[in-house]
Structure formats: structure tokens, C-alpha cells
């Protein structure tokens, strides 16, 4: 779900911003972690909320991975 939403939203962010950042000397990872989170705040918060709902409501994996209720941690 997440990567699909992210790729969809990225098509609305002009590629010229990538190139401007690269011209100013920002590396790939720096662009990814300092520029993109601000540009993509709406979709990232959507992805986070969707995934948080999924994890919060999960019971199957917890039942399978934790055998004994007395030692959950």
C-alpha cells in the first residue's frame, strides 16, 4: 500500500526540484531525508496512519509470534 501511494503522490512533485537539489550539491540520501519528507508530508502522514491502523488492529501475527502470554516482551 505505502509504496503505491508514495509513487502516486511523487508524480505531482516536479522533477526539476530533484535536479535543483542535485545542482546545489545535495546527495541522494540527503535529498530523500531532508527535502522529500517536507514535500510529501500529506501522503506520508496518510501512509503512517494507514499502517498504524493495521498494526494496532493486528492479532494474527501477534498470536503466531508470541507463544506464551506471560512473557510477551
Interface with other proteins (CB under 8 A): 1-8, 10-11, 15-16, 18-19, 22-23, 27-28, 32, 36-37, 40, 44, 47-58, 60-62, 64-68, 71-73
| CB of 35 vs other proteins, minimal distance in Å | 10
| CB of 12 vs other proteins, minimal distance in Å | 10
Residues 6+ apart with CB under 8 A from 40: 6, 9, 10, 13
| CB of 18 vs other proteins, minimal distance in Å | 6
- The whole-angstrom separation of Cα 69 and Cα 41 is 38
- The whole-angstrom separation of Cα 39 and Cα 13 is 8
Amino acid at each position: 500500500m505505502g509504496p503505491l501511494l508514495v509513487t502516486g503522490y511523487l508524480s505531482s512533485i516536479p522533477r526539476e526540484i530533484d535536479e535543483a537539489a542535485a545542482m546545489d550539491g545535495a546527495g541522494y540520501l540527503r535529498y530523500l531525508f531532508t527535502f522529500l519528507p517536507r514535500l510529501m508530508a500529506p501522503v506520508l502522514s496518510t501512509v503512517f496512519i494507514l499502517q498504524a491502523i493495521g498494526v494496532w488492529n493486528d492479532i494474527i501475527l501477534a498470536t503466531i509470534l508470541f507463544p506464551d502470554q506471560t512473557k510477551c516482551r
